[in-house]
Structure formats: structure tokens, C-alpha cells
């Protein structure tokens, strides 16, 4: 009986964009990774798309946390002191 | 005191160092508030959840054995409390992974491909433009808005993975979702962010 895989044609772009996260996460099977990379080799648009997904992740990672306002910092100090005061262990 | 690992700060906190507590709070507050906000209807409730979480941390600190990272432990406490608060506010039942990641959501709109699945309207270029804006500090606000616009479960996963830098295993543990759901949500969230940046800054190639 012929295996399904032999019937599968090369990836098209619409399928390739759905594989990007699995590719970046290292979760593609070896054969799917080969098919994806073979598609990239012949497709500048999907290559650009992958670069953009990598850049998107990188940009998200540059976001720095907002700092506490002085008021909120005071609230947390009060919360801590209250806990210390209530804490039976000291 | 702003330096030091979470583990060092935790040791100091156990010894009764108030500054260590404040440093830990400052370090994690923004992420906690964002994560809490995705479970509850408004910022005021999210702030209560965060405060409540820190009370839980102080109470439970002697029981924390360091088998998971402090951050994973912290976010788990937060998510539990946020789910409870969210359920109370919405009068609905909090769900974890029983809520299936259902439906189909394409990474790229089908209209951008031709009948054979090849790009008809290929990705517009934006990497160079965005780097200029990043240097000028103009991109952060745009990205925060785009992340805020994500559906909540995608926002949770993207926040923890790509802003906070948790591993996929840690995210699954914090949100109590399966590995495969985590990946689907991450894929959809990142794909939406890419599209938002393209819509905002792209120019036809």
C-alpha cells in the first residue's frame, strides 16, 4: 500500500506560514522541517515572512517593564510592614 | 539592590529584608499586572489580584522549595487568584485547558494567497523601518497596544513567552495548558503581532 507521504506535494506558501512557530520551536518532524526549508530555498516571500516573525519575537522581547509609581511602591512597603507586624514567627 | 537574582532576593526576604521585597515587586509588577489584566475586567481588580498575590507569596515563602523558578511559582499564584477573581467578577466558571483552542485562525488572511496557495499579496517590507523607530524609542507604545489587542489567551502566552522569557514548559505550568495548545496560542498571537506591524509600517516590496 502506498504511503500517504508519497502523495503529498510540496508545501505551498499558505501552508508554510502556518509552520513557522513549530519550526522556530524545533517541533517539526524531520521530514516536515526538510520540506519547509526546501520551500524557503525557493521562495523569497516566505523567507522574508520567517525573518519578520523572528523580528517580531525580538521586538516583543525588547519591551521593558513599566516601573512602579512612588505611590504604588509605598503601598507595597505598607503591605510588607503589615505582614511583618501580623507574622507570628518573629 | 536592584541587581541580584530572584533567588538571592528571596533569601534576603526570608531574612526580613524589606528592600528585597520592594525590589522583587518592582521587578515583576508590570508583568503581573498585565497577566492579571487578561483575566479580570478592569485594572482596579487586576491591581487587587497583584497585591493579593504578594500577600500569598509572603505567607508561602517558607514553603517555596525552589523546584520551579521563583517566577513560575509567582505567576502560578497570580493566575490562580486572577481566575478566581475573574470568575467572581464575571459570574462565570474559570477554566483552564478544558477550554479548547478551537476553530481555525489563519496566520495570514486567505485573501493574500492565490488559488494555488502561493502569495498573491506578499509580505510588505518593514524590518528596516521598524529598526529606525526602535532606536528612536517610538515602537514600544505601538507594540504594547498591539499586544493589548490580542485575544486574552494569546496575550497571556505571548506575554509570558516573549516578554517575560519563560520557557514553553513554564508557560504550560503557569497557565495549566497543554504543550500543543500553548504552541497554537503562541503561533496565533505572534502571527497577529507580525500582521499588526506590517499594517502599521509595511511598504509594498
Beta-carbon contacts of residue B105 (< 8 Å; ≥ 6 apart) = B188
Beta-carbon contacts of residue B24 (< 8 Å; ≥ 6 apart) = B6, B9, B10, B13
- From first CA to last CA, the distance across chain A in angstroms is 75
What's the gap in Å between the CA of B119 and the closest CA on chain A? Answer: 6
DSSP, res B189: H
Contacts of A79 in chain B (CB under 8 A): 51, 54-55
pLDDT tens by residue, chain B, 205 residues: 467 898 899 999 999 999 999 999 999 998 899 899 989 988 899 999 999 999 999 999 888 888 888 999 999 999 999 999 888 877 554 455 444 566 789 999 999 999 999 999 999 999 998 988 877 777 888 999 999 899 999 999 999 999 988 999 999 999 999 999 999 999 999 999 999 999 999 988 7
Contact B118 A12 (CB under 8 A): yes
Contact A84 B16 (CB under 8 A): yes
Contacts of A53 in chain B (CB under 8 A): 190-191, 194
Q: Measuring CA to CA, which residue among B43, B166, B5 is closest to residue A61?
A: B166
DSSP, res B16: T
What's the gap in Å between the CA of B92 and the closest CA on chain A? Answer: 30
Q: What ipTM, to 2 d.p.?
A: 0.85
Cell of A85: 507586624
The SS3 call for residue B119 is strand
Q: Measuring CA to CA, which residue among B116, B121, B24 is closest to residue B74?
A: B24
pLDDT number for residue B100: 54
Model confidence pLDDT, tens digit, residues A25-77: 999 999 999 999 999 999 999 999 999 999 999 999 988 777 788 888 898 99
CB < 8 Å from B in window 1-40 of A: 12-15, 17-18, 20-22, 25, 27
CA–CA dist B114, B125 (Å, integer): 20
CA–CA dist A84, B60 (Å, integer): 13
Nearest CB among B113, B143, B186 relative to A59 is that of B143
How is A11-69 classified by DSSP, letter by letter?
--HHHHTTSHHHHHTT-S-HHHHHHHHHHHHH-HHHHHHHHHHHHHHHHHHTPPPPPPP
Q: Quick check: pTM over 0.95?
A: no
CB B48 within 8 A of CB B78: no
Count of A–B CB contacts within 8 Å?
124
Amino acid at each position: 500500500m502506498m504511503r500517504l507521504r508519497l502523495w503529498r506535494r510540496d508545501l505551498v506558501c499558505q501552508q508554510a506560514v502556518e509552520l513557522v512557530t513549530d519550526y522556530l520551536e524545533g517541533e517539526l518532524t524531520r521530514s516536515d522541517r526538510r520540506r519547509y526549508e526546501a520551500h524557503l530555498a525557493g521562495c523569497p516571500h516566505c523567507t522574508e515572512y520567517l525573518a519578520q516573525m523572528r523580528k517580531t519575537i525580538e521586538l516583543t522581547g525588547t519591551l521593558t517593564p513599566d516601573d512602579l509609581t512612588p505611590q504604588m511602591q509605598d503601598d507595597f512597603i505598607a503591605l510588607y510592614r503589615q505582614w511583618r507586624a501580623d507574622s507570628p514567627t518573629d | 539592590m536592584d541587581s541580584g537574582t530572584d533567588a538571592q532576593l528571596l533569601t534576603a526576604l526570608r531574612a526580613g529584608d524589606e528592600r528585597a521585597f520592594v525590589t522583587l515587586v518592582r521587578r515583576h509588577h508590570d508583568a503581573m499586572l498585565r497577566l492579571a489584566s487578561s483575566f479580570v475586567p478592569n485594572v482596579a481588580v487586576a491591581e487587587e489580584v497583584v497585591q493579593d498575590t504578594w500577600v500569598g507569596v509572603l505567607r508561602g515563602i517558607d514553603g517555596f522549595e525552589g523546584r520551579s523558578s521563583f517566577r513560575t511559582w509567582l505567576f502560578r499564584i497570580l493566575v490562580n487568584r486572577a481566575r478566581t477573581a475573574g470568575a467572581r467578577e464575571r459570574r462565570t466558571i474559570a477554566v483552564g485547558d478544558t477550554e479548547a483552542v478551537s476553530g481555525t485562525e489563519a496566520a495570514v488572511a486567505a485573501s493574500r494567497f492565490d488559488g494555488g496557495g502561493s502569495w498573491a499579496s506578499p509580505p510588505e517590507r518593514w524590518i528596516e523601518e521598524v529598526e529606525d523607530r526602535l532606536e528612536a524609542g517610538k515602537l514600544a507604545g505601538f507594540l504594547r497596544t498591539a499586544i493589548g489587542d490580542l485575544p486574552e489567551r494569546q496575550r497571556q502566552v505571548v506575554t509570558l513567552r516573549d516578554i517575560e522569557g519563560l520557557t514553553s514548559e513554564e508557560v504550560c505550568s503557569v497557565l495549566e495548558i497543554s504543550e500543543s495548545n500553548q504552541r497554537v496560542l503562541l503561533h496565533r498571537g505572534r502571527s497577529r503581532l507580525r500582521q499588526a506591524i506590517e499594517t502599521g509600517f509595511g511598504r509594498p516590496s
